[in-house]
């Protein structure tokens, strides 16, 4: 997701952008970027927020980010991220900020819980089907039928290999789906398995001093995310990524 | 409050920990790392404000969730929690594909079984017919 931030379909910084094709930052005659507009400060060239928050509706998005994370925290975070990754970071930060404002208790963690429960349910269904398949006795291949008086249609040979395999499914990272309505947090909370208390809350298990199973799971998933080649970072669908100017 | 009984937040911020410290119940001194994640991502004042706006009975859950989000963002500065969401979405796709595959195998089995049964029925029908003709 490293599109030209000046393109109309993606995030645009007010009249300025720090991308190579747009040059300079905000405040160069096109008005301040959305972040500086919100903060009521001068938008200097090279403003770190300018490429991602345009002056029109970017301010509204930035308001959410500022309320939850604070401008200086986000600025520091972006400074430590390579430029070509900052758009993804801004999108995900906006998502988390909006989720937190929508649900001040669980934030985007409600979405994680909902997905986790969905995985559990699907795996249960898969296990059931696998067990069912294992109990089926495969019939012996039918003998070649003698030519009957009436012509009968013999079914074509069926092949399991004709079925689609998981590996043939494209893996796209569509950040626009983040902005779909989330599952009701109350339902997600009832179903949750990923226990944030394992992140060392005072009510956590005696062994949860630094995380526990959840940390191990998070580390494992993050490690797997980073390990594959070429898409060592999941590729993002540029065309469908939400514009922060919306 | 003495230095030794300060919560992790106040210890990190090098301030006195009052009796009514908002953060103390959720950031105990035995887990300083938890507060460091939250401090780095949200900031002390933001998290204090967010917790203060919630009913007391919900603050524990909120603090735990924010600690998780902060940890995930520290571990993955670009995608944060979305990285985990993505992984789960991919896992869901994989499992759904497996389910489709297995349903297909079951359908193949049923089709083969039906075919075999049909053949057996026809064989018995024609052999009966031959006997009849005799």
A126/B46 Cβ within 8 A: no
Identify the CA nearest to A127 among candidates B55, B110, B98, B120: B98
Å from A8 to nearest chain B CA?
Answer: 23
Tens of pLDDT, residues B66-123? 999 999 999 999 999 999 999 999 999 999 999 999 999 999 999 998 998 898 888 8
B54, B70, B74, B85, best to mutate vs chain A, most A CBs in 10 Å: B85
Rounded to an integer, what distance in angstroms lies between the CA atom of residue A105 and that of residue B99? 35
A112/B82 Cβ within 8 A: no
Given a cut of 80, whether residue A3 has pLDDT beyond it is: no
Which residues contact residue A226 at a Cβ distance below 8 angstroms, ignoring those fewer than 6 apart? A232, A233
Tens of pLDDT, residues A91-131? 999 999 999 999 999 999 999 999 999 999 999 999 999 99
Judge whether B56 is closer than 8 Å to chain A, CB to CB: no
Rounded to an integer, what distance in angstroms lies between the CA atom of residue B71 and that of residue A109? 12
Tell me if residue A94 falls in helix, strand or coil. helix
**Per-state percent for chain A, helix, strand, coil, to nearest 5:** 45, 0, 55
Angle at B29 between CA B25 and CA B32, to 5 degrees: 110
Given a cut of 80, whether residue A186 has pLDDT beyond it is: no
Q: What is the DSSP string of B10-43?
A: HHHHTS---TT-SSTTTS-TT-HHHHHHHHHHT-
Rounded to an integer, what distance in angstroms lies between the CA atom of residue A111 and that of residue A185? 8
Does the model's ipTM exceed the 0.85 cut? no
End-to-end CA distance of chain B: 109
Judge whether B104 is closer than 8 Å to chain A, CB to CB: yes
Judge whether B129 is closer than 8 Å to chain A, CB to CB: no
What percent of chain B lies above the pLDDT cut of 90?
78
Mean pLDDT of chain A: 66
Residue A216 in tokens: 């191990």
Looking at residue A52, what is its pLDDT?
95
Identify the CA nearest to A200 among candidates A208, A212, A192: A208
Identify the CA nearest to A28 among candidates A19, A12, A17, A38: A17
Q: How many CB pairs under 8 A join A and B?
A: 210
Q: Using 50, 70 and 90 to split pLDDT, how confident is the model at B124?
A: confident
Tens of pLDDT, residues A39-89? 999 999 999 999 999 988 899 999 999 999 999 999 999 999 999 999 999
A165/B102 Cβ within 8 A: no
Which residues contact residue A37 at a Cβ distance below 8 angstroms, ignoring those fewer than 6 apart? A14, A31, A43, A55, A59
B42/A70 Cβ within 8 A: yes
DSSP assigned state of A175: G
Å from B82 to nearest chain A CA?
Answer: 6
A126/B80 Cβ within 8 A: no
């Amino acid at each position: 997701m490293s599109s030209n931030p000046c393109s109309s379909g993606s995030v645009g910084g007010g009249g300025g952008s720090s991308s190579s094709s747009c040059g300079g930052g905000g405040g160069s005659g096109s008005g301040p970027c959305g972040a500086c507009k919100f903060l009521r400060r001068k938008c200097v060239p090279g403003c770190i927020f300018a490429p991602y928050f345009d002056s029109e509706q970017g301010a509204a998005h930035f308001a959410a980010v500022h309320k939850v994370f604070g401008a200086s925290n986000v600025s520091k975070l972006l400074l430590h991220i390579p430029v070509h990754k900052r758009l993804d970071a801004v999108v995900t930060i906006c998502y988390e900020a909006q989720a937190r404002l929508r649900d001040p208790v669980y934030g985007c963690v409600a979405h994680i819980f909902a997905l986790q429960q969905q995985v559990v349910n699907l795996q249960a269904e898969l296990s059931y089907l696998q067990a069912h398949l294992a109990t089926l006795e495969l019939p012996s291949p039918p003998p070649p039928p003698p030519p009957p008086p009436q012509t009968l249609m013999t079914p074509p040979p069926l092949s399991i290999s004709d079925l689609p395999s998981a590996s043939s499914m494209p893996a796209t990272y569509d950040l626009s789906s983040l902005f779909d309505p989330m599952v009701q947090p109350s339902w997600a909370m009832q179903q949750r398995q990923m226990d944030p208390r394992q992140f060392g809350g005072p009510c956590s298990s005696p062994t949860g001093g630094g995380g526990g199973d959840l940390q191990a799971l998070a580390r494992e998933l993050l490690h797997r995310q980073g390990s594959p080649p070429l898409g060592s970072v999941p590729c993002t669908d540029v065309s469908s990524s939400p514009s922060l100017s919306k | 409050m003495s230095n030794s009984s300060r919560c992790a937040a106040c210890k990190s911020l090098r301030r006195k920990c009052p009796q009514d410290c908002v953060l103390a119940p959720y950031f105990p001194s035995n887990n300083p790392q938890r507060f460091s994640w939250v401090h780095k991502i949200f900031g002390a004042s933001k998290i204090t404000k967010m917790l203060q706006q919630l009913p007391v009975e919900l603050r524990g859950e909120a603090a735990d969730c924010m600690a998780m989000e902060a940890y995930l963002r520290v571990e993955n500065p670009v995608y944060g929690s979305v990285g985990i969401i993505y992984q789960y979405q991919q896992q869901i796709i994989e499992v759904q594909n497996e389910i489709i595959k297995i349903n297909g195998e079951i359908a193949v089995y049923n089709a083969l079984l039906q075919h075999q049964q049909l053949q057996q029925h026809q064989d018995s029908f024609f052999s009966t017919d031959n006997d009849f003709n005799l």
